[in-house]
Structure 1
Amino acid sequence: MPIFKIHHITKYEYDRPVKESFNEIKIYPFICAEQETLSHEIVISNHPEVFVFTDYWGNKTGSFNLLPLHRKLTIESKLLIRTTATSELQINFQTGFLQLADEVNNQLQLLELSIPDNIIQQTAINEIAATICSEGDSVATVTERCAAHIFTCFSYIKGITNIETTVDEILEHRSGVCQDFAHLMLQILRTLHIPSRYVSGYICPNKNGLRGEGATHAWVEAYIPGYGWAGIDPTNNIWVTNNHLKLSVGKHFADCTPAKGTFKGLARQKLSVYVSIGYEDGHVFEEVNNVQMDSLSAKEPAPISSIDIDHQQQQQQQQ
């Protein structure tokens, strides 16, 4: 049962003072049997009071409002966590789609997570689905083939997609990063009526060759009848065991955004994200992302004296 030390800093900087920065954060570990939080400290600029609640998807969520004028907002998370999942897979490869249909029909949220989005290139998705699913296949087998298809047929390339990239565009690029592959896999699985959800977290492979070591990461959980939610990582073509740390789940990335909110003011903003993961052997991996963000220019006219501007931690989950 490995223990990891996670240090995650989100920093917004503004070229002039802003105020009333209202934010929502999802940087708390997801409460589940596969991981145990040993300690967790969150430090926010000016120490605002944080209201904590559980959202629709079961994510622990915090909200706060930084009222005074400020030119910087820092959200710092210091987490010590133990993964308790076994490294030996025990996924049920026997149960099929008839049993899945029975379980989905009795659970509204499973039904919601089994409906694909409306996209332009659904025909291409249907063709992929047809190649990975045959009559009599188990749900776990089809899920595994889906991850393998994405890993084999799509290239892992940073910088050619962003947080607004659609599944249609991913199909055109035939490439992307973990966030893109997760969204593509969700569309394929849901086309096959397999309930599936987006997962946001960290990956901690400790130099074993997996993509995304020591960084924010995204993968998928598929619902396997007779078993429950099973994590699978199409970026690395593996089932999730005890090297993935889960923060939040949802229908898409928008449900799992680590930090998002609004502020009042007219300012250019800069976002930087720092993540470090310390392993039991003393090895530490660090990563810094500087994110280009759109914002209003000081020369642009303001229709009112105070403007609400969305600022989201919309840096793509690159790994």
Structure 2
Amino acid sequence: MALFKIVHLTKYQYNYPIKESINEIRLFPHHFENQEVLQYQLLITHAPNVDISQDYYGNRVGNFNVLDTHTEMTIESRMLVRVNHSLKIPKMDSTSVKDIQTEKEKSILLLRLCYIDKIEKQVEIESILEKIGIEDKSIIEIAQQCNTYVFENFKYTKGITNIETTVDEILMLKKGVCQDFAHVLLHLLRTAGIPSRYVSGYICPNESGLRGEGATHAWVEIYTKTQGWLGLDPTNNIWTMDNHVRLSVGRNFSDCTPIKGTFKGLARQTLSVCVSIGYEDGRQFEEINDVKLQEVSSNVQDQLNYMDQLQQQQ
């Protein structure tokens, strides 16, 4: 059992005033059997009204608008969460992919989480599964071996991928971060016929040397008929533990994006994310990351350059 006080601070800055910022957030921690949300607070610049609803996958989603002109917007999510994964390693039962076929046919959700996205390197995915040897193996065994394959064959490297990086590109690079590893593992598992979902959350450091500690993290959950949803972390080749705090689930990162938004105006924007984690014994961990945003079109870039020139002439 572990208790974490997590502060997730997101700051957007604009070099020229913008207005009508429209946003969608998934920053609300799950409250489920092994994770109890004791306290939660959401603080947003200008204190807009936040309309909270639930999406298809059961995540709490917040929508809000900041209509006034502004050059900065911060979104601060504060939570106190207790995590207790009683089974850090699941039971090795004999349930196979065939054993859950009837259950999948009766559930649109499970079928959706088995759907294989079209990629150019599908033959490579099938070759990996053939190498692993998934025939006559249980779901647990297949998942664990796929998890190990990703961990051993893909190098953890920051700064070479982004939220737009595809599975094809990751298979070519053989490098990436937790989000990339999760996407590759999902494709392997779904090709094998195992219902699998992407999980967005945090992996809280505990002097254990896990990769990705202290920051937003991503992993995968598989569905088994006997044990329900079980978490696999391909970045660290482990089953999820007490230091994995779950925020949202979906088919992929797009379904779990912590913050999505748009605005009216012409400006360069920068984004920084700070995650602070406090422990029961008073220890504190903090990590700050500047996020690389998608590049603007050449037309927008030309307009921004022209505005910069005008400002310099004043």
Partner AA of 2:183 in structure 1: H
> What residue number does 1:86 align with?
86
Partner AA of 1:10 in structure 2: T
> What residue number does 1:61 align with?
61
Displacement after TM superposition at 1:95 (Å)? 0.9
> What residue number does 1:286 align with?
286
CA RMSD of aligned residues (A): 1.6
Partner AA of 1:2 in structure 2: A
CA distance in 1, matches of 2:166, 2:149: 19
CA distance in 2, matches of 1:300, 1:71: 15
> What residue number does 1:147 align with?
147
Superposed CA deviations along residues 2-57 of structure 1, whole A, max 9, x for unmatched, are 10010110000001111111100100002321111110111000000000000111
CA distance in 2, matches of 1:41, 1:91: 36
> What residue number does 1:181 align with?
181
Residue 299 in structure 1 maps to residue 312 in structure 2:
no
Displacement after TM superposition at 1:141 (Å)? 0.4
Task: Check the 8 A contact 2:90/2:230 in 1, yes or no.
Answer: no
Partner AA of 1:113 in structure 2: L
Task: Check the 8 A contact 2:23/2:259 in 1, yes or no.
Answer: yes
CA distance in 2, matches of 1:226, 1:68: 52
SS of structure 1 residue aligned to 2:120: coil
Partner AA of 1:215 in structure 2: A
> What residue number does 2:309 align with?
none
Displacement after TM superposition at 1:217 (Å)? 0.2
Displacement after TM superposition at 1:281 (Å)? 2.4
Residues 72-221 of structure 1 correspond to what in structure 2 (within 5 A)?
72-221=72-221
CA distance in 2, matches of 1:221, 1:201: 12
Displacement after TM superposition at 1:282 (Å)? 2.1
Residue 236 in structure 1 maps to residue 236 in structure 2:
yes
CA distance in 1, matches of 2:88, 2:55: 31
Displacement after TM superposition at 1:87 (Å)? 4.9
TM-score normalised to the size of structure 1?
A: 0.91
Task: Check the 8 A contact 2:88/2:239 in 1, yes or no.
Answer: no
CA distance in 2, matches of 1:297, 1:68: 24
Task: Check the 8 A contact 1:266/1:298 in 2, yes or no.
Answer: no
CA distance in 2, matches of 1:243, 1:277: 11
CA distance in 2, matches of 1:88, 1:269: 41
CA distance in 2, matches of 1:246, 1:7: 14
CA distance in 2, matches of 1:100, 1:70: 52
Superposed CA deviations along residues 214-246 of structure 1, whole A, max 9, x for unmatched, are 110000001122211110000000001221000
Percent of residue pairs bearing the same amino acid type: 51
Residue 268 in structure 1 maps to residue 272 in structure 2:
no
Gaps of 5+ in 2: 307-314
> What residue number does 2:9 align with?
9
Aligned residue pairs: how many?
A: 302
Displacement after TM superposition at 1:298 (Å)? 6.9
- As a proportion of its length, which structure holds more helix? 2
TM-score normalised to the size of structure 2?
A: 0.93
Displacement after TM superposition at 1:136 (Å)? 1.8
CA distance in 2, matches of 1:280, 1:124: 46
Task: Check the 8 A contact 2:92/2:141 in 1, yes or no.
Answer: no
CA distance in 2, matches of 1:133, 1:226: 23
CA distance in 2, matches of 1:27, 1:76: 9
> What residue number does 2:256 align with?
256
Task: Check the 8 A contact 1:3/1:83 in 2, yes or no.
Answer: yes
> What residue number does 1:305 align with?
none
> What residue number does 2:42 align with?
42
Displacement after TM superposition at 1:292 (Å)? 3.0
SS of structure 1 residue aligned to 2:202: strand
